[in-house]
Amino acid sequence: MKNDGCQPSTDTYTLLINLHGKASQSYMALKLFNEMRSKKCRPDICTYTALVNAFAREGLCEKAEEIFEQMQEDKLEPDVYTYNALMEAYSRAGFPYGAAEIFSLMRHMGCEPDRASYNIMVDAYGRAGLHEDAQAVFNEMKRLGITPTMKSHMLLLCAYSKARNVTKCEEIVNQMSESGLEPDTFVLNSMMHLYGRLGQFEKMEEVLTAMEKGPYEADISTYNILINIYGRAGFFERMEGIFQSLTTKNLKPDVVTWTSRLGAYSRKKLYRKCLEIFEEMIDAGCHPDGGTAKVLLSACSSEDQIEQVTTVIRTMHKGMEIALPA
């Protein structure tokens, strides 16, 4: 477009900034923003919100705040979407009280929070382990007549799951059903993971049975949870049984599946077994990532083994970007 002598419009720049933001390329989004200003193309409220969102996705709250202030200097009034984006930035950066300040400012400025605003606050407190605060926001939302969605319940569930409060999590799942919201695969996977972490394997398997019989199909994430939980518990036979059953369920192991399986043997320093599984993974066409390399290296108990693993990974994956741990 620029090569043809046609200058991009504000809408075009906003679209491009949005695309880079969604790809977690905030540096590129900022570069485009600076370019449009240098071309005397004036950003509008949507442009600023897109850029705040770009920084929010990466938890760069200070940069998001800078853009927010710059927008106000440009005499543009933030709307609910801009405030939400800035709240999200603080939430992802792990500063729930920063998000709460923006939430209060928003109301003070006469901008009414929407359902997404409340969900962001539930998430902000939940991420920080402040499940009581998350519950208070959830209750406030209901008190104001804003009906919690599936996402609202899931965020609250995650908050209590982080606190390992299984009773409260079960209560939330029941509330969802009573509200006409049928728990989906994500919710059931979360419950399975919680039961597994607490060593409540019977309950974990009950959820799996319900999933396999119910309307929501178990996905690869479901079985990855089982493989990880059984592997950590040292139940290798159960773990291998789950792994071998994947083909009968038309599910292909992904990098998380293979890495979880590797991790079980790595924790026992079963170096040869780990190398064997790693080779299986490569033969299956699954590309290892940095996490796989780290797990494989943790199986080593000598300098020779570390050198061998490093050589194997680099030889088999020339041209692939695997960040080996230092």
Neighbours of 141 (CB within 10 A): 20
User: Residue 26 — pLDDT band, cuts 50, 70, 90?
Assistant: very high
pLDDT exceeds cutoff 80 at 321 = no
Query: Burial of 296 by CB count in 10 Å (0-12 exposed, 13-18 middle, 19+ buried)?
Result: buried
The model's pLDDT over 76-133, given as tens digits with 9 standing for 90+, comes to 999 999 999 999 999 999 999 999 999 999 999 999 999 999 999 999 999 999 999 9
* Confidence band for 313, pLDDT divided at 50, 70 and 90: confident
Q: What one-character-per-residue DSSP string does 52-69 give?
A: HHHHHHTT-HHHHHHHHH
Q: Which helix (H) or strand (E) holds 268?
A: none
What's the confidence (pLDDT) of residue 243? 97
**Do 2 and 8 meet the contact criterion of CB atoms below 8 Å apart?**
yes
Cα–Cα distance, 240 to 261 (Å, whole number): 8
Residue 207: phi and psi, rounded to 5, are: -65, -40
In the structure, what pLDDT confidence band is assigned to residue 31 with cuts at 50, 70 and 90? very high
Distance CA 205, CA 202 (A): 5
What percent of the chain has pLDDT above 70? 94
70-74, 124-128, 157-161, 305-309: the lowest-pLDDT one: 305-309
Q: Average the pLDDT over 196-215 and give the result.
A: 90
Concatenating the DSSP letter of every residue in 113-131 gives: --HHHHHHHHHHHHHTT-H
Residue 176, phi-psi category: left (phi > 0), alpha (psi -120 to 50), beta (remainder):
alpha
Straight-line distance from the first to the last Cα atom of the chain, in angstroms, rounded to the nearest whole number = 44
Mean pLDDT of 204-227: 90
Q: Kindly report the average pLDDT of the chain as a whole number.
A: 91
**Residue 242 is which amino acid?**
I
Distance (Å, whole) CA 326 – CA 315: 18
Provide the whole-model pTM: 0.83
pLDDT tier, 322 (very low <50, low <70, confident <90, very high otherwise):
very low
pLDDT of 223 over the 90 cut: yes
Average pLDDT over residues 214-234: 92
Say which amino acid occupies 76: L
Alpha helices in 234-318 (DSSP H): 236-245, 255-266, 271-283, 290-298, 303-316
Q: Which residue has the tokens 């009906």?
A: 147
Residue 316 CA to its chain's centroid (Å): 29
Q: pLDDT band at 215, cuts 50/70/90?
A: confident
pLDDT digits (tens, 9 = 90+) for 235-268: 999 999 999 999 999 999 999 999 999 999 999 9
SS3 content of the chain, % helix, strand, coil (to 5): 70, 0, 30
Averaged pLDDT, 166-190: 92
Both structure tokens of 166 = 């299984």
Cα–Cα distance for residue pair 236/240, rounded to 1 Å: 6
pLDDT at 325: 45
61-67 average pLDDT score:
96
pLDDT at 316: 64
Angle, nearest 10°, between helix axes 80-92 and 61-73?
A: 160
Residue 3: pLDDT band (50, 70, 90) is low
